[in-house]
Amino acid sequence: MLHFLLGSKSQLKSLLTFLILACGLTIFSLTYYPNYIQGGLEATISWDVSGYYWYLPAIFIYKDLKGLNFSDSIRNANGCSPDNQQITNLPNGSKVLKYSSGMAVQYLPFFLLAHLVAKPLGYLADGFSTPYQLAIQLGALKMCLLGLWYLRKLLLEYYKDRTVRRSQFSSDWHQVCKLCKHRCGHNA
């Protein structure tokens, strides 16, 4: 197990850098601008994310993937987009989601976990309440960290530990600064 984490003893510093960055990104994601508690257009599940995600409540909660008759009430209650941009109305009266379902597959385990705990925690099991928002945000963070982990392992095959460490730190720090500028209304 230790060999899987480190790769070799010489890669300990890049592992520590990764762990520090992972903790920092997690804390930053959940505290600086916690989208999972934001409403409307600032929520985690809004705009394009809601388009990719829409399959999950349609299939598992409302059981209405063809008609999507629940979409107006959900959009009005949660304000995930100003209009039904995620949906196309067909001439025969059916509705089709414009977005592909691939991201919904990635969101599925996090959606199911949220659906499992929503009612017991006193939230609506509508697919858009706080547990769902938090689960999707944590799922995205997990995928981000997993990608950074494998990027680190790949880079260590070709570059020295010191180079990988510097690359990870500068790249992640740049993204955090860019997000801060964006959230504060400055051009990034």
Indicate the pTM of the whole model: 0.82
Residue range 127-150, pLDDT digits in tens: 999 999 999 999 999 998 898 889
Q: Where are the domains of the chain?
A: 2-183
Average pLDDT, the chain: 83
Which pLDDT value is given to residue 76?
81
* Exposed / middle / buried, residue 113 (Cβ in 10 Å: 0-12, 13-18, 19+): middle
% of the chain at pLDDT higher than 70: 85
- Rounded-to-integer distance, Cα 89 and Cα 122, Å: 34
Confidence bin at 188 (pLDDT 50/70/90): very low
Provide mean pLDDT across the span 114-129. Answer: 96
Q: How far is CA 70 from CA 57, 94, 136, in A?
A: 10, 13, 21
179: its two tokens: 């997000």
